[in-house]
Structure 1
Amino acid sequence: MLISTLLPLMLTGIATAKICTNITIPVDISSRQGLFRTVPLEGNLDATAFIQEMNNIGQNYSAVLLQDYQTLVGSYEISAKFCYPDSGVKGSTVQLLTHGIGFDKTYWDLSFNNFNYSYTDAAVGKGYSTLAIDRLGIGNSSHGDPFNVVQAQAEVEALNAITTKLRNGGIPEISDKFDKVIHVGHSFGSVQSYWLSALYPDNTDGLVLTGWSTNASFLPAFLAASNLHIARLNQPLRFGNASSQTAISSLKSWSTGDSIICGVQSLLSAINIKLSTQDIWNEIATTEVGDLINGYNRTVIPLDYPTGYLTWSDFTANQYNFLLPGHFDLALGLVAESTKQPVTTGEILTIGGSPASSPFTGPVLIVTGQQDSIFCGGDCFATGTDAASIPAEAQKAFPNASAFEAYIQPESGHAINVHYNATGAYQVIQSWLGAHGLAA
């Protein structure tokens, strides 16, 4: 397999069905959340120790580190991408898209293979406007202290603030007021969309929760399988402050074609070690070597994450948690690895703090991959109960919903949008919204 497969392969094809603008949205939030004692997180062994404590069955590590509660008050900036049909009609209904751990707003509009995996295209094709955000602390949105600023509650407050701005025309680059806001999430983005519906049930008109269930029993396995490392050490030229345009330029030229494989083969041959091209590809693409080569910042904004931001170790951990073998394009999987985003310690400590139920009275759709490992343990139908599926059990959390359905996407893992049949799930979502009073 050619080393060129390692390249990001973000093709520059232009989807003609939509008009998109990258914008920055200022938000003011007030968030009642935990004040945690911070622990050393300077090296990868520190990150491993943190997860060992999180997974210790004999303790609640969030409670161990919790010192008090605080009200976080602050002004932050949320990076977003707004899209609408190329007819110029923005309509009265917008889908607000919130990504999960490991991704950013590009999860919804993947440019890979000429946007063939784009959820945004599917929604805009049905007449919707979409707003995809980088969650607070992630991507080009404001960053912050990973323990005591970037927590789940603060991100929910930021999401709620953006929702309100969409309703009242408070985003100058958009200007329009939307009568209906549909919250579409993936994974942790679904957790936050659900959380918003519990705290502010009148501020959402419909929920589409992808890659989600109310079963959190598989979270320890996710954390362990991630083999979390310090983000700035995993991709120093992207997540750290050591970004060098000279180094980046060198890596871009060095990681072209078969030059790396040839170079490694020559080096090994000199010391009488012979590895096949496939073995060398595996050594590079499926280990942190691949992150070092492809993990360089492609934006003009330095990411410069502090040490409390963590990321999974390599592509093997990525596959275990997010991808179903045989049902995704390897090249796209490697794109997801080279462009991955971190998770904060504060998010890990607070992800389980969402309300037990939501008073939301509108329609709710859950769409989860059949082999989702994070929310289904690898089989969404293995309920051990009479429930149709593990996600279907979430109906108990929505006792007042006007409609509820849990759809299980076949031949898919957790990151639905990165699988071959992603567009099938997109069409299910758009059709379901139209059938439940939420057409564009």
Structure 2
Amino acid sequence: MDITRLIHQDEHIIAPAEPFEGFSWVQRRRHKAGDDIPLCRKRRRPTPPTQRQMLEDIYRETRYPSAEMRRRLAAIHHTTSRKIQIWFQNRRMKEKNDAARYSHKDKMMAVTDILSAPRHALEAEKVFLQDRTCDPRVSWDNVVRKFPTSILELSQTGHLSATAYACYIILLLIDMRSVLFTLTLLSAALADGIYMLNVTDVYTESSKGGNAFCTIGNVIVQVTAPNLDIGVSPPADQYEATEMINTLESIRSKEYIRAYVSSKFNTVRNYSIAVKLCAPSYDLNAVERRMVHILVHGIGFDKSYWDFEDQYSYIDQAGARGEWTFSFDRLATGNSSYPDAVSDVQSPTEVSILSVLINHLRTGYFGVRFNHVVGVGHSYGSLLINGLLKQEASALDAVVMTGYTAETMYSNMGLASLDLVLANSTSRFAGLTNGYFVPENTIGVQQSFYTWPNFETSILNASTQNAQPVSLGTFFTMGSLLGATSYTSPVLVLNGRNDYFFCGGDCKKAGKDGSDASAAVQLAIFPRSRNFRSETLEITGHGIALHKNAAYSNGRILDFIYDAIRM
């Protein structure tokens, strides 16, 4: 059964001919007056596999189905909405109990190691001194589980401080999540404020739905990038800015860019990049999975695009499935650096930053080493992934490109509809130079990113209020990102049918000769991919993750990644 139709359809549901007997709950036998026979229960029948699979599929998309969804499920299964609700309650409880049993088993094994004869004490000491943290996601894996050593002996010999020893013992024996987080933060403060390695200004928070526990801070990234020497100065005022943007968005843009770009130069710079590493809240030991999704947002957004609100959070849904995520504010967005808008904030620089961050994730620079890194991009973020794979075909183990096609003729339409203004004309970016522009008009943002009626006005207004700048250098250099790659790993292209930026309003017909533009990406960009898939979502615009069907689209991405990495 098509779960999308089940979740979104409005038409009447016709129940199947065979009744569903998976919800035969406790029933009582009737007895004649005076009988001394105790009431008994009717034996429950197991849920048929096909019905259970459908419920499991829906559970993977939403653990808390709405009343309307429960009513539709009840109609299909010839049961009541209440019994559907109980099934989901029991399923959530099973997931919680399974996680608790797993955690308890690991803790008991670790305690056994502590009480047993120590081995590899020097290796454990070395790892701990490198970590300098009591992060359960790092030190538990690196010391307690990797080395069957005795923390007690290390403490007695002076290799571990009393604070570190107490922290480890508490992490082993206490299973109260709130207390665990509090002690983790306390231990981080005692360890010179280091919580996620090589990151400053650290703080923690939960994802919007509470299914992921995130560490946030800033990391200094050194990049070497072949930037373009752009011989143009920022506009003097809004009138000149509007004319410059109009030219860059017109059919004269290539000629205009060639007139001002004379050569390339290698730039070597250090930039402060705001990063966010999120682990599953219910399974802090999930680091053993060794896979992380690196999330790259597009123009007009920052990293909050991936964790915008409850029910609009890729990070939260990934956490619910036991997956780690790593998001970051691209250069000149959010809490990252805002360098020169012409010479620094260019596409080659951003590709280099992305490459460095992926390398950090693979090498354990942040304290956790991941064997698999999957790239998930949106819009310009997808273009940056494309640009990276042109240079490093093995940089990522799988990629998901959203808000992205190989068609370039429509992008100027989307940019034009944003009604960009000088960023420093707004109070939020008053300190920036005239080389930065920002969308400020809610109607323009709607036209570019949303499709009515598949969005909430509160989400539209919030995304407009948080709109991020785009640099003049980005306009001049983004055209170099799109192109064919020799990438052979799995690829998913996911677009909204009404995408204005890359499809001119209809991705089903925006390809060559009126073909599906999402599917056409395979031949144009990823001809060597051994596993290419594409999907186009109905009544959905460019900002896929901010539409009402965000839970479904996020679920499709997570399903693909799960299959791609484990196939």
Partner residue in 2 for 1:96: 294
In structure 2, the residue matched to 1:143 is: 338
Given the alignment, which residue of 190, 212, 226 partners 2:418? 226
2:275 to 68, 80, 83: 80
CA contact (8 A) 1:54 1:60 kept: no
Residues 1:45 and 2:243 aligned together: no
What is the identity, as a one-letter code, of the residue corresponding to 2:322?
G
Residue of structure 1 equivalent to 2:446? 319
Q: TM-score, normalised by structure 1?
A: 0.78
Question: Which residue is 2:507 aligned to?
Answer: 380
Say which SS state the counterpart of residue 433 (structure 2) adopts.
coil
Shift of 1:13: 8.8
Query: Quick check: 1:333 aligned with 2:460?
Result: yes
Distance 2:511 2:482 in 1: 24
Between Structure 1 and Structure 2, which shows a larger proportion of helix residues?
A: 2
Cα contact 1:183–1:208 (8 A) shared by 2: yes
Quote the offset at 1:227 in angstroms. Answer: 2.1
State whether residues 362 and 402 of structure 1, in contact with CA within 8 Å, keep that contact through their aligned partners in structure 2.
yes
The superposition leaves residues 174-222 of structure 1 with CA deviations (integer Å, 9 ceiling, x where unpaired) of x110000000000000100121112111221010011111111012212
Q: Distance in 1 between matches of 2:208 and 2:411?
A: 38
Q: Which residue of 2 aligns with 1:210?
A: 402
Q: Which residue of 2 aligns with 1:393?
A: 520
Q: CA deviation at 1:70?
A: 0.9
Conserved? CA contact 2:417–2:444, under 8 Å: yes
Q: Which residue of 1 aligns with 2:429?
A: 239
8 Å Cα contact 1:206/1:362 also seen in 2: yes
Q: What is the alpha-carbon root mean square deviation over aligned residues?
A: 1.7
Aligned with 1:60 (options 223, 240, 255): 255
Question: Which residue is equivalent to 1:116?
Answer: 311
How much has 1:361 moved relative to structure 2?
1.2
Which residue of 401, 415, 439 corresponds with 2:543?
Answer: 415
Give the counterpart letter for 1:17 in structure 2: N
Q: Distance in 1 between matches of 2:540 and 2:209?
A: 25
Do structure 1's residue 29 and structure 2's residue 223 form an aligned pair?
yes
How big is each residue's C-alpha offset from its partner over 1:363-421, in whole Å with a ceiling of 9 and x where there is no partner? 00011111000011000111364675112111121121111111111221000111111
Give the unaligned 5+ runs of structure 1: 1-11, 241-303
Aligned length: 357
CA contact (8 A) 1:383 1:389 kept: yes
**Is the 2:300–2:467 Cα contact (8 Å) retained in structure 1?**
yes
Bigger relative contact order, structure 1 or 2 (CA pairs below 8 A, ≥6 apart): 1
The one-letter amino acid of 1:128's match is E
Check conservation: 1:23, 1:82, Cα contact below 8 A: no
The separation in 2 between residues aligned to 1:385 and 1:339, in whole angstroms, is: 36
Deviation (angstroms), 1:16: 2.7
Name 1:258's counterpart in structure 2: none
Paired with 1:401 and 1:13, the residues of 2 have a C-alpha distance of 33
- SS of the equivalent of 1:374 reads coil
Counterpart CA distance in 1 for 2:250 and 2:512 is 27
Determine if the alignment matches structure 1 residue 343 to structure 2 residue 470: yes
5+ residue gaps, structure 2: 1-205
Correspondence 1:163 to 2:358: yes
* C-alpha displacement of 1:313: 3.9
**d(CA) in 2 for partners of 1:229 and 1:202?**
39
**What secondary structure does 2:429 align onto?**
coil
Task: Look up the match of 1:190.
Answer: 382
Counterparts of 2:423 and 2:511, CA distance in 1: 38
Kept in 2: contact 1:194–1:207 (CA 8 A): no
Tell me what 1:16 maps to: 210
- Cα shift readout 1:108-154 (whole Å, capped 9, x = no counterpart): 0013xxx1211111112222100111011211111111111000110
What amino acid is the match of 1:151? Q
1:176–1:343 CA distance, 2 compared to 1 (3 A) = same
Instruction: Please give the per-residue CA displacement for 1:320-358, whole angstroms capped at 9, x wherever unaligned.
Output: 100112110001100000011011011111111125211
Structure 2 letter corresponding to 1:377: G
Q: Does 1:361 align with 2:488?
A: yes
Q: 1:55, 1:203 → 2: CA distance?
A: 31
TM-superposed CA distance for 1:56, in Å, is 4.2
Moved over 2 A (4+): 12-16, 55-59, 383-388
Partner of 2:304: 106
CA distance in 1, matches of 2:565, 2:264: 40
Q: Is residue 181 of structure 1 aligned with residue 373 of structure 2?
A: yes
Q: Contact 2:442–2:461 (CA<8 Å) still a contact in 1?
A: yes
Which position in structure 1 is the counterpart of 2:530? 402
- Greater CA radius of gyration, 1 or 2? 2
The aligned counterpart of 1:284 is none
In the alignment, the residues of structure 2 paired with residue 431 and residue 208 of structure 1 have an alpha-carbon distance, to the nearest angstrom, of 11
2:232 alignment partner AA: T
Match of 1:126 among 321, 325, 331: 321
**CA contact under 8 A between 2:295 and 2:327: conserved in structure 1?**
yes
How far the C-alpha of 1:360 sits from its partner, in A, is 1.1
